[in-house]
Amino acid sequence: MSVSALFKELFQNLNQQRLRSFLTIFGIMWGTATLILLLAFGMGFRDQTVLNMRGMGDQLAIMFGGQTTKPFEGYGIGRPIRYREADAQVLEDQIPAIDVATPEYMRSLVVKNGEKRRNSSIGGVYPVYQELRNTFEQKGGRWLNQRDLDERRRVIFLGNNLAANLFGEEDPVGKRVMVSNTPFVVIGVMQEKVQNSSYNQRDEDRAFIPATTFSAMMGKDIVNNILYVPKNPDIAPSIQDEVYKVMGKKHRFDPADKDAIGIWDTNEFWSFINIMFLGINGFLGLIGFFTLAVGGIGVANIMFVVVQERMKEIGIRRAAGARRHHIMIQFFLETFMIVGIGAAAGYLIGWGLVLSMQNIPIKEFVGTPYFSPEVGLIAFAVLGIVGLASGFLPAWRASRLDVVECLRK
């Protein structure tokens, strides 16, 4: 039987039993649309969570000072460990696996523009801080540069929310603000970014000045924390061990004393995120699979009925010389055609549902679902499995029918 004849016969059979055909195809269509929608939501949620975390920085670790809890080389417990700027360079020099390390000063100060004032966490940082923390400037402004540090310039970079509170709709670049009664020139405003975590204050409400200016202005050389980025995030735990050894030797504390310094390594969260979303997307995919499997069971049941109704046709074809595998292939193809029609409709409906949810009001939390090639391939693979499972037994039964019994029908 030719492919065109097979299609013609299939559509004739579907037309003869319209309600039954509709319900069968609807089961596959609904299962396919559900699977696509669930996987699209899973992908969107994953990407939004990653985007939120990128507000803190990529593969970043933050070191904070702590207190010793173990005696070491004659020193007692409870001794505070504090960093200086040189400690960041020590980490870079002595731990080859660290790509870059930089110190950060912080203090909460009043920032004023005329009568408008805000309490803000002021950071004294180096130019490399921008890349580590994704604090990029809006058009028309700039970030801190090396000359700002060398000359200890009184320049300031504002978070976008802080700039809006102080200047409203006015462009703040080039204007002056007072920081603890000291004038600073605004050189830039941060681009808006999503940030769901911080270790002091959200960057949108912060301001940044050259580290050298901060140190001279505050009269201090004790930094609040040190940021570092590993060359290979996969070995972040072993880098932490090296950090404790290097800092323990420099500041005279036991490297096994984990309370002497605190390390917030965001690489640990990235590892957790990968595992978590593998589980979430797997669970959503499993729900979609079972929904689609119900439709597949419906197709299998219908095909068993079709085999029963067409026993005489099967007997005539076998008597005319058709072999078992010819009968089996015919019913397999009919099953895949039914699944294919339902799948095509399900793809279109699922795609339409995904597009209709692009502007959901809570996308900042759950993300925006999207139809990706990955989603399409997973759905295609599941449909293939469902088609094989629902078509095999009816096709096998049809190919094993006794020719004489079929001709008696």
CB 228 within 8 A of CB 100: yes
Q: Containing domain of residue 21, as a range?
A: 3-53+271-408
What whole-number distance in Å separates Cα of residue 178 and Cα of residue 113?
A: 7
Of 179, 204, 230, the last residue of a domain is 230
Q: Cα 180 vs. chain centroid, distance in angstroms?
A: 40
| Token digits of residue 243 | 């950090």
Contacts of 221 (CB under 8 A, 6+ apart): 84, 85, 215
Q: Number of structural domains, the chain?
A: 2
Assigned domain for 236 exists: no
Q: Across the chain, what does the average pLDDT equal?
A: 82
The residue type of 233 is P
| pLDDT tens digits along 40-51 | 888 887 777 766
What whole-number distance in Å separates Cα of residue 116 and Cα of residue 165?
A: 8
Residue 335 and residue 219 share a domain: no
| pLDDT tens digits along 23-69 | 777 888 888 888 888 888 888 877 777 666 666 777 888 999 899 99
What whole-number distance in Å separates Cα of residue 47 and Cα of residue 143?
A: 28
Integer CA distances (angstroms), 197 to 49, 51, 58, 177, 194, in order: 11, 12, 13, 27, 9
Assigned domain for 34 exists: yes
Residue 226 and residue 105 share a domain: yes
Q: What is the pLDDT of residue 7?
A: 63
Residue 220 and residue 278 share a domain: no
Q: What is the pLDDT of residue 67?
A: 92
Assigned domain for 44 exists: yes
Residue 218 and residue 332 share a domain: no
Assigned domain for 244 exists: no
Residue 395 and residue 297 share a domain: yes
For the entire predicted model, the pTM comes to: 0.66
Assigned domain for 105 exists: yes
| pLDDT tens digits along 165-202 | 999 989 999 999 999 889 999 999 999 887 777 787 88
Model confidence at 292, pLDDT cuts 50, 70, 90, reads: confident
Assigned domain for 41 exists: yes
| pLDDT tens digits along 338-397 | 788 888 888 888 888 888 877 766 666 667 777 777 777 777 777 777 777 777 767 777
Residue 278 and residue 202 share a domain: no
Residue 221 and residue 142 share a domain: yes
Asked if pLDDT for residue 80 goes beyond 70, the answer is yes
Model confidence at 113, pLDDT cuts 50, 70, 90, reads: very high
Of 204, 230, 256, the last residue of a domain is 230
Residue 107 and residue 35 share a domain: no
